[in-house]
Amino acid sequence: MSSKQGKRYFGTDGIRGRVGEYPITPEFILKLGWAAGRVLATEHSNRVLIGKDTRISGYMFESALQAGLSAAGADILLLGPMPTPAIAYLTRTLHAAGGIVISASHNPYDDNGIKFFSASGSKLPDDMELAIEDMLERPMETLDSRDLGKAERVRDAAGRYIEFCKSTIPSSISLNHLKIVVDCANGATYHIAPYVFLELGAEVITIGVEPDGLNINLDCGATHLDTLRAEVKRQGADLGIALDGDGDRVIMVDERGEVVDGDELLYIIARSRQQANHAVDAVVGTAMSNLGLEHALAEIGITLHRSAVGDRYVLEKLSQCGCVLGGESSGHIICLDRTTTGDGIISALQVLAAMERSGRSLHELKSGMKKFPQCMINVRLDRPLDVFNNREIQAAVRDAETALANRGRVLLRPSGTEPVIRVMVEGEDAGEIQALARQLAGVVSRQQGKRAVG
């Protein structure tokens, strides 16, 4: 769970792990709530929001956080199941001291995690995460009974967020001639996303809107697209929208059943804004963004800046570059002129608005970008491995780069959320890059004595 700057618990996206294994235990989460309450609460506001996705352990951790926050004197506003970006939005508009999300995003139900938002609806800065970790090392002290925090439920949270999502596209845009299949991954958007598109006029067919605590992300959502692709073709729909378990990422499917990933969505949004005479000089992608995105943007005069992988790093680069639009191929799209964090529903709406302005289908809009073949293999780790200072691995990387010459690139990246090394090779020839990726993954795997899986 370590991260940069010596963090013990916080990774690139909060604290995450398997339920019941430290630190994702009721005892730790109780103290985490107390530590967060001590750090987040200020003289201006001592209210902290708690929202969650639909996995069964959310009930347990919601109660633990609530108890810890109350012991620290923070008042709690309970939102129930809500998308991660909704919690960011409501933290800001309800003038809370902070927001807490109980979610493991696209992971299976037996994982869970805790993410935080500051009063501005942005991810916590490093100094606040470090302050919470410092507080975790201190003995937990419960305030006098008269100073304990109180809890109440926000009854209209879903309605507030639905109206906000609708407000992010011009009121002149109607979706009343679109037939859309929406896959909510049996996650936090199940009672929100369908209504956003329905209220804007679309005919909506739903998938993954029957959460039972165990089926979140199970063969559905942004990481499992086969069902959505088949349903779009079966229904003769104009497109499909797949969200992940906590609603901060989106992948779309065009009318032919072809996947439209985050790189293509970012291109569509950027190009549409440029054509609408909105100044778009640059956007932010990541080290994993397809070379085809960089080339397609360059053809229309837009520069692609690359950040490290992870939406917090995309946000950092957006701030550094003074840009408002960025994203990842996984479907985390950030429109800072609309909201403060990645938002699957709002990103999908920007694409639908582009379709309406242009009068073109999703397939036609994505055709302006030609993706380079890309092969990624995950090598599971049984112990830490410094791939950047391993001579055998780096020699293999140089060999692959020599073979590609200037026709592609190689990237090794340790995952920030699971014990794997991601081996990515990208280039013009699919057969060549697959062979190179397998060779490189084999070298990494042999350093572990483990078989590569991809």
CATH number of residue 75's parent domain = 3.40.120.10
CB 265 within 8 A of CB 207: no
CATH classification at residue 439: 3.30.310.50
59 and 90, same domain (yes or no): yes
Strands 239-243 and 250-253, how do they pair?
Answer: antiparallel
| Residues 62 and 131 reside in one and the same domain | yes
Q: Residues 93, 203: one domain?
A: no
Q: Are residues 12 and 128 both part of a single domain?
A: yes
Residue 68 bridge partners (DSSP): none
Give the Å distances, CA to CA, from 277 to 51, 270, 271, 305, 367: 38, 11, 10, 21, 21
The encoded tokens of residue 219 equal 């063969």
∠ Cα 32 189 103 (to 5°): 20
Confidence class for position 419, pLDDT limits 50, 70, 90: confident
CA 84 to chain centre: 9
Per DSSP, helices labelled H in 154-210 are 157-166, 193-199
Whether the predicted pLDDT of 316 surpasses 60: yes
Q: In angstroms, rounded to a whole number, what is the distance separating the alpha carbons of residues 37 and 11?
A: 20
Residue 319 annotated as catalytic: no
Q: Are residues 400 and 268 in the same domain?
A: no
| Domain contains 401 | yes
pLDDT digits (tens, 9 = 90+) for 253-281: 999 999 999 999 999 999 999 999 888 99
From the list 261, 269, 253, the residue with the least C-alpha distance to 326 is 269
| Residue at 454 is within a domain | no
- 3-class state of residue 349 by DSSP: helix
Q: Which residue, of 259, 294, 312, is where some domain finishes?
A: 259
Peptide bond into 194 cis (omega under 30): no
Residue 41 counted as domain residue: yes
Q: Is residue 453 part of a domain?
A: no
Any domain includes 90? yes
φ, ψ for residue 171, nearest 5 deg: -65, -20
Catalytic-labelled residue, pool 70, 103, 105, 118: 105
Question: What 8-state DSSP symbol labels residue 388?
Answer: G
Residues 288 and 349 in one domain: yes
What does the alpha-carbon distance between residue 345 and residue 200 come to, in Å, rounded to a whole number?
A: 13
- Counting beta carbons within 10 angstroms of the beta carbon of residue 290, is it exposed (0 to 12), middle (13 to 18) or buried (19 or more)? buried
* Residue 452 predicted with pLDDT over 90: no
Same domain for 151 and 11: yes
Separation of alpha carbons 212 and 190, rounded Å = 11
DSSP alpha helix (H) spans, 322-412: 344-358, 362-366, 391-404
Taking residues 361-373, report their average pLDDT.
96
In a domain, 62, yes or no: yes
Residues 122 and 202 in one domain: no
404 in the same domain as 265? no
22 is in which domain, residue-wise?
Answer: 4-157
Q: How far apart are CA 304 and CA 138, in angstroms?
A: 44
Tell me: do 13 and 152 sit in the same domain. yes
Residue 172 belongs to some domain of the structure: no
> pLDDT category, 384, cuts 50, 70, 90?
confident
Which of the listed residues 259, 277, 307 is the one where a domain comes to its end?
Answer: 259
Predicted pLDDT at 391: 93
Quote the number of domains for the chain: 4
How far from the centroid of its chain's Cα atoms is residue 63's Cα? 25
Measure the CA–CA gap between 277 and 6, rounded to whole angstroms. 45
- Residue 3, pLDDT > 90, answer no
pTM: 0.91
Checking if the pLDDT of 415 tops 90, the result is no
Please give the pLDDT value at position 277.
Answer: 84
For residue 1, what pLDDT is reported? 36
Q: What is the pLDDT of residue 450?
A: 46
Same domain, 52 and 72: yes
Mean pLDDT of the chain: 94
In a shared domain, residues 108 and 238: no
Reference 387, options 309, 334, 446; nearest CA is 446
